[in-house]
Structure 1
């Protein structure tokens, strides 16, 4: 879509922010409020499977259901004959992955982000919602340094578990919990907490705790809990990691 295009008589399209196999995301200005927004555009002809359409509808339902200052806000959803449009809050300062690539954070800075992260995750769980794909790329930052959890495409609605467990493995490989890899079912809350722990480690270490030469090697290390803390992590934080692992 060309820069300057007016969409729905309201949004002036700006630069391309990113794209994937299914969608493109553009920056846009809301001409009624002057606020910047992000617009996720999905070609309808790419939504070829029933499963994918169900996933998109579920994401819309969840984003309308959840209201928390550290969750990305869905402004509205609309459509044309050929496209779906998600109009989203636009956090200006990128994502935690980019910040982490620049360099590791101090423990004080990491504590601030982690506190916001677990507060938002706790809220989701209180509503019966489990994200199942928490990672650095899905955590965005606004201009005030507040994080916004995004991408609820793999999240699940309240009451969607049959036996109290989920059986469909999903998530970003380096962040998944060991039980997701076991194919014996897993608790949605616990795997989200595990991913939060991976994120905390990455923020203070500057790299992910589990890395492998290939996916098999990576999953083996996750299953064994095989990682090492860098020397610069404080004893206090190492103790916290021990107790978190024990509780999980």
Structure 2
């Protein structure tokens, strides 16, 4: 099965306002046409760069939408495995639409269903992926969510290197810096996500109940 066919299958089993929708599939002997939801707001990365970075209020709103959408995926036994800003689109209301499930796959929820294929983009890859060991897809998605949140708030990735080897060394050492303007609650959230042992890394339940995520916008 091609990645395109897999993506269509995965999207057809998902139904969430923050996941790009498929409206129609027309399959002919020569071609396959897919009618998908339009995202006039473009890619989130372009929106961030146009503003240098996002404030905590807007980043929190979008991160809540990512949590809601990815929780829906994981409850449907689907992992994305290529979460990155280029795959996050915006609709007319500037709400999030997660797209590009070409590297996604299903998993079994009744046991530890470890995955072995390296997927994704180096800057968003969790420690276990770059270490070449079997990994829990849900936990690698959560790591990538942390990268996305950091970039939303700063306009740059937390882990950088002039070479892939240097980048991987920074990731493995958890060598990143939190700006002084970050609140203690926000710093605590990153410390829950950027954890070497995926079993100790934040769960979706922990993200949903996190104090920073749930801070009242009127505060």
Which range, TM-score by smaller chain? 0.7 to 0.9
Correspondence 1:67 to 2:19: no
Q: Name the SS of the counterpart of 1:78 in structure 2.
A: strand
Instruction: Tell which has more relative contact order, 1 or 2 (C-alpha 8 A, sep 6+).
Output: 2
Unmatched 5+ stretches in structure 1: 1-52
User: What corresponds to 1:94 in structure 2?
Assistant: 42
Correspondence 1:140 to 2:89: yes
Q: Name the SS of the counterpart of 1:75 in structure 2.
A: strand
More strand by share: 1
RMSD (CA atoms): 1.9
1:123 counterpart (72, 85, 99): 72
Deviations 1:198-225 (A, max 9, x none): 0001111111111110112111211211
Moved more, 74-83 or 224-233: 74-83
2:107·2:113 contact (CA, 8 Å) conserved in 1? no
Q: Name the SS of the counterpart of 2:89 in structure 1.
A: strand
User: What corresponds to 1:217 in structure 2?
Assistant: 166
Q: Distance in 2 between matches of 1:159 and 1:55?
A: 20
Moved more, 218-227 or 76-85: 76-85
Q: Distance in 1 between matches of 2:193 and 2:53?
A: 21
TM-score, scaled to structure 2: 0.83
Q: Give the superposition deviation at 1:158.
A: 3.6
Aligned length: 196
Correspondence 1:76 to 2:24: yes
Q: Give the superposition deviation at 1:124.
A: 0.4
Correspondence 1:56 to 2:7: no
Unmatched 5+ stretches in structure 2: 202-219
Q: Give the superposition deviation at 1:227.
A: 1.0
TM-score, scaled to structure 1: 0.74
